[in-house]
């Protein structure tokens, strides 16, 4: 009996760790809960309940021993590659009953440090995608393309730096959007661009919480009301912060004589 209780604790802690990694990388609530329940049931624990929200995971066994573990999620991001790797691992753990908890923890820690691409490739792809979007909207000249490319990379750099300082994504998005609008206004003021509109629209694309909003809607459709509302509200606050940052700079620029 003592061995079974110890083993059950190890499985619950392992499931909690997997759920923490999935949530912190942007997985949907329903996906996290389903994965954790399957992991526990694969090892014979069929009386497990899981409660998941964007900032917390609670996993408990409603049998007589009543083991309960909880983990709060402080930092969240979107990493679809890591979510895919975690999904593959959870399926393998469920199907391979010979895989021990110790082996699983070692592999999970490696997955937690896995990066799909080096930072310079991510930055270049971000800049190219932003510049291409500006081009599609009418910024069809070399200057707009190049300056949008540089500005979007600078904005992501500022966003990441602010996240390390404040850990508040809304505030970081506000600061990054101020940088983008300031760059567009200054480049136009110096005559390097005809208008800042295309640069601003293209450069804010990496900041927009489109994926987070869709995941919130997905949670609402799945019946996870708390998670769905909180995700959608967080995405809405980020969008408001971006609009406020851009609007503030453009309003100041127009007041001192700037023009589109």
The separation between CA 173 and the C-alpha centre of its own chain, rounded to angstroms, equals 13
User: Which of 1, 85, 82, 95 has its CA nearest to residue 39?
Assistant: 95
First to last CA, the chain: 75
Least trusted range by pLDDT, from 1-5, 76-80, 91-95, 199-203: 1-5
Assigned domain for 57 exists: yes
Assigned domain for 134 exists: yes
Summary count for the chain: helices (H), strands (E): 10, 3
Residue 259: per-residue pLDDT: 65
Q: Let me know whether 178 and 161 are in one domain.
A: yes
Cβ contacts of 79 within 8 Å, gap of 6 or more: 25, 26, 116
The last residue of one of the domains, among 81, 112, 143, is: 112
Q: How confident is the model at residue 159 (pLDDT cuts 50, 70, 90)?
A: very high
Q: Let me know whether 177 and 244 are in one domain.
A: yes
The separation between CA 43 and the C-alpha centre of its own chain, rounded to angstroms, equals 31
Q: Let me know whether 81 and 129 are in one domain.
A: no
C-beta of residue 147 within 8 angstroms of C-beta of residue 199: yes
Q: Is pLDDT of 3 > 60?
A: no
Assigned domain for 260 exists: no
The last residue of one of the domains, among 70, 85, 112, is: 112
Q: Let me know whether 71 and 32 are in one domain.
A: yes
Q: Let me know whether 130 and 203 are in one domain.
A: yes
Q: Let me know whether 52 and 171 are in one domain.
A: no
Q: What residue numbers bound the domain in which 126 lies? A: 119-255
Rounded Cα gap, residues 249 and 111, in angstroms: 41
Q: Let me know whether 41 and 104 are in one domain.
A: yes
Q: Let me know whether 246 and 124 are in one domain.
A: yes
Q: Is pLDDT of 178 > 70?
A: yes
Q: Let me know whether 48 and 142 are in one domain.
A: no
Which of the two residues, 156 and 214, has the higher pLDDT score?
156
Count of domains in the chain? 2
Q: How confident is the model at residue 82 (pLDDT cuts 50, 70, 90)?
A: confident
Q: Let me know whether 36 and 102 are in one domain.
A: yes
Assigned domain for 80 exists: yes
The last residue of one of the domains, among 112, 139, 154, is: 112
Assigned domain for 131 exists: yes
Q: Let me know whether 58 and 167 are in one domain.
A: no
Q: Let me know whether 39 and 160 are in one domain.
A: no
Q: How confident is the model at residue 8 (pLDDT cuts 50, 70, 90)?
A: confident
Residue 89: per-residue pLDDT: 92
> b vs e for 140-164, b when ≥16 Cβ sit within 10 Å of the residue's Cβ?
eeeebbebbbbbbbbbbebbeebbe
**Which of the 8 DSSP states describes residue 73?**
-
Residue 59: per-residue pLDDT: 92
């Amino acid at each position: 009996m003592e061995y079974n209780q110890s083993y059950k604790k190890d499985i619950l802690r392992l499931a909690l760790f997997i759920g923490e990694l999935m949530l912190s990388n942007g997985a949907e609530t329903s996906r996290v809960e389903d994965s954790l329940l399957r992991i526990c049931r694969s090892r014979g624990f069929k009386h497990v309940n899981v409660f998941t929200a964007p900032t917390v995971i609670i996993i408990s066994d409603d049998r007589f021993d009543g083991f309960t573990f909880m983990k709060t999620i402080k930092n969240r991001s979107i990493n679809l590659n890591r979510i895919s790797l975690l999904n593959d691992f959870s399926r393998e753990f469920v199907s391979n009953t010979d895989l021990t908890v110790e082996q699983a923890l070692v592999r999970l820690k490696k997955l937690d440090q896995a990066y799909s691409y080096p930072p310079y490739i991510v930055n270049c792809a971000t800049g190219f995608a932003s510049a291409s979007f500006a081009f599609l909207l009418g910024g069809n000249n070399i200057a707009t393309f190049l300056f949008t490319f540089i500005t979007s990379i600078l904005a992501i750099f500022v966003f990441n730096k602010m996240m390390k300082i404040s850990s508040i994504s809304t505030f970081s998005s506000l600061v990054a959007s101020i940088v983008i609008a300031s760059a567009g206004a200054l480049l136009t003021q110096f005559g390097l661009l005809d208008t800042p509109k295309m640069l601003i629209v293209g450069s804010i694309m990496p900041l927009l919480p489109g994926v987070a909003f869709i995941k919130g809607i997905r949670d609402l459709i799945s019946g996870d009301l708390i998670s769905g509302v909180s995700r959608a509200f967080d995405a809405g606050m980020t969008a408001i912060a971006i609009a406020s940052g851009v609007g503030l700079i453009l309003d100041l620029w127009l007041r001192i004589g700037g023009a589109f």
